[in-house]
Chain A
């Protein structure tokens, strides 16, 4: 038996929803955030409507049951039930949106705010447009020296950073769970792999308090390392971060 078009459409939408839930929450243990799922489902519904109304016949088939529900005298009981249920549903949705909860409100937070054009530290001013890691050049010029520098960077890291960023640089340090925002995972493609070394220098030197306004409302626990480390130590630890994770910093392409 062929299912009515309208029912097919509803089943597709519900099926996709359950599919998303099953795959991500149950299968992969990484649930889809509800804000994203809402967007996904909105477009799944839209697309389903588009497909089912693309031809004249199927558009008629889609609207037939709705028309019948509104106009057909024999459907009076169902009509009455539906006409009571729909406003109730709307009321329930409104209520659940407005009901107070203990969740902190969802905020759009910018994890990578734009850096300032210059940075003041160690008694001088660094031009962020031109700043480069003074040690990067050794990777080609003197690989032996580079290795030593990376190793020294590693020492800096394991003395200072791994409590938060984790001994595998994956953001899972012992104390990580205590912070909001969480210390970042450098293995992820979205952190240091997207950034230039100068950006890291700025972030490490000035830490959480150095974040500009758009990175609020949460103050990150990242310490202000220019108070504890030397300039060279910061550049070395940056070498280490990229070396360990196998990522490459973004470079000055056209300059």
Chain B
């Protein structure tokens, strides 16, 4: 019982903290009101407020973006403002991503439970939010702390930038503060109301609260995204001076807003899954009780499925975002893919490949849970071979690192045969096949414990195999044809039929499987908890790679503005307005990752202590 009250205390504290910071946020963003005051003054100075204001004068109400000098950036102590803000912003983003992601899939699972009337799902959803709640309430408050800290550091070290942004986003920043409160409130109602709002109509009410919770969380993120994308593709301000044109919606709805929104929503789901997976792995490894092990194994598995579900469409959302960046500004596009940041993309490719490998490894190891898996483990090696083959293509850079000798031997900086692997058609081909193969691992895993009893099982499997082979051949053909034999105008043309092929494989396999395994015989009960410890490290790997990846690519997204606070509107004139070398950037991101992981492990450890305490009592 003492755990519960302790827990309650904790949640109260969290609520208080988030209030404080939400409040603190609106307080610190008081410059928000600056432009309102300006407007008032403008009216006053005109004498008669009833006089209609002409277009030109209306514009003059808003000041232009400030032009800064190095002296406008306060230097305090030995802090490097840029690195400080960078790390704090990154930590805030990670925690926020986690806090927003958990309710998304808890709601999904709850809805599945309602639709199928299967109580197991509902229990699982509750279990999910309960087990993660202890960690979660701390996380939420850390998110708030980080948010407050971010505002604070921005205000201290970049006061003029903050003022300018706050003057543009006055209303949305205020809304953000309120939504922050609404988020915490609906979260607690959702969690504590779970058992109270059970059955029939009450359940609908509960589901609606969950929906509200997620809606609020998503809007929160969309607002923050608007601030970020505005600094890349400013809109709604005078392109020459940066003066606000009067519509906050135009400022929010800038060119890159929606591409980033989609990317982040999907990534959040995958990220939340991976962190919960790591949590489950931690609990699995630290427990020696059989039931507990079984429980956390199952939890890790479910979280992993959700993470993979988010991971599969992610590369495509990423392509869209990149394509839109290119379309918005050639300069940013080239900086991103061909220029200074290209090498970070190679690192990204390596990490994404590592994600795919870990996911597959986890599935292969998981086959050990079922007795019937012997039929399928023999396929692992060629699935792996294909994935690795694609992986190598996936990270082959277009511009190679060459010694002088190699340069002469190749007759130029580009490799005749490997060069085309560095551009889009090859990357698309590789990632599609990687996705199909990962899906194959998943399909085999699901089959491992089942024997189909329908009469057409053999031909059903044959049809599925044919679809897989046909799709892969189609994808390779399209990739090779467009990669080597057509020019750029058509290069992207391959990507759509390739994605369609992948979608056909996934959808048709799922449909055939669901018919084929209706009433299938189970080989034996699934032995949850009977997986090697090795597999759990794959879950850790997943969470770490994900975190690191978000940090690196987040830096790239932000860094391609180069010496601009707001691209081509407000120049960064601080002494830090340079693009750091790849090594320095990687070090900063890696340090931030380590800090984040340390805090997360600390949270896991704390929640372990509190649950042990409750077990003793």
Contact = CB atoms under 8 A, between A and B. Distances in A.
Q: Point out which of A33, A56, A193, A194 has the most chain B C-beta atoms below 10 A from its C-beta.
A: A33
Contacts of B410: 30-31, 33
A255 B491 CA distance: 20
Contacts of A103: 403-405
A39 B331 CA distance: 30
A43 B390 CA distance: 11
A14 interface: no
A109 interface: yes
Contacts of A50: 357, 360-361, 364, 384
Contacts, number: 185
Contact of A129 (B329, B340, B396, B405): B329
B412 A247 contact: no
Contacts of B334: 112-115, 199
A59 B532 contact: yes
B401 A108 contact: yes
A36 B401 contact: yes
The bracket for how many chain B residues form the interface is: 35 or more
Interface in A42-58: 43-44, 46-47, 50-51, 53-56
Interface of A: 24, 28, 30-36, 39-40, 43-44, 46-47, 50-51, 53-56, 59, 103-104, 106-117, 128-129, 171-172, 177, 180-182, 184-185, 188-191, 193-194, 196, 198-199, 214, 245-255
A22 to B, nearest CB: 14
B327 A253 contact: yes
Interface of B: 255, 323-324, 326-332, 334-335, 338-340, 342-343, 350, 353, 357, 360-361, 364-365, 367-368, 377, 380-381, 384-385, 387-388, 391-392, 395-420, 422-423, 483-484, 487-489, 491, 532, 534, 562, 568, 582
Contacts of A106: 401-403
Given A47-B384, A114-B339, A114-B340, A30 B395 contact: no
A182 B364 contact: no
A54 B380 contact: yes
Contact of B400 (A35, A43, A193): A35
A184 B398 CA distance: 14
Contacts of B399: 109-111, 190
B406 A33 contact: yes
Contacts of B323: 253
Contacts of A47: 357, 384-385, 387-388, 391
A34 B400 CA distance: 10
Given A44-B388, A112-B338, A189 B420 contact: yes
Nearest to A27: B417
14 contacts: A28-B416, A33-B410, A51-B364, A54-B380, A55-B367, A59-B534, A110-B339, A111-B413, A114-B562, A115-B331, A185-B412, A188-B414, A190-B399, A198-B330
A106 B413 CA distance: 13
B384 A51 contact: yes
B400 A56 contact: no
Contacts of A53: 534
A74 B230 CA distance: 71
**Minimum-distance CB pairs A-B, first 6:** A254-B327, A54-B364, A114-B335, A112-B338, A248-B489, A35-B401
Contacts of B406: 31, 33-34
Main secondary structure of the interface of A (DSSP, over half): loop
A167 to B, nearest CB: 16
Nearest to A198: B330
Given A103-B404, A194-B423, A250 B488 contact: yes
Contacts of A56: 368, 532
Nearest to A25: B409
B582 to A, nearest CB: 8
A172 B404 CA distance: 17
Contacts of B340: 110, 113-114, 214
A78 B412 CA distance: 48
Given A108-B582, A184-B413, 10 more contacts: A39-B350, A47-B385, A50-B357, A55-B367, A59-B534, A104-B404, A110-B338, A111-B413, A117-B568, A254-B327
B416 A43 contact: no
A48 to B, nearest CB: 8
B342 A110 contact: yes
Contacts of B568: 117
Contacts of B343: 108
A181 to B, nearest CB: 6
A251 B323 CA distance: 12
B330 A40 contact: no
Given A28-B416, A47-B357, A193 B403 contact: no
A54 B405 CA distance: 41
A247 B329 CA distance: 21
B532 to A, nearest CB: 6
Contacts of A252: 327
Nearest to A185: B412
A185 B401 contact: no
A189 B423 contact: yes
Given A184-B412, A250-B488, A190 B422 contact: yes
A233 B326 CA distance: 28
B412 A171 contact: yes
Nearest to B564: A117
Nearest to A191: B414
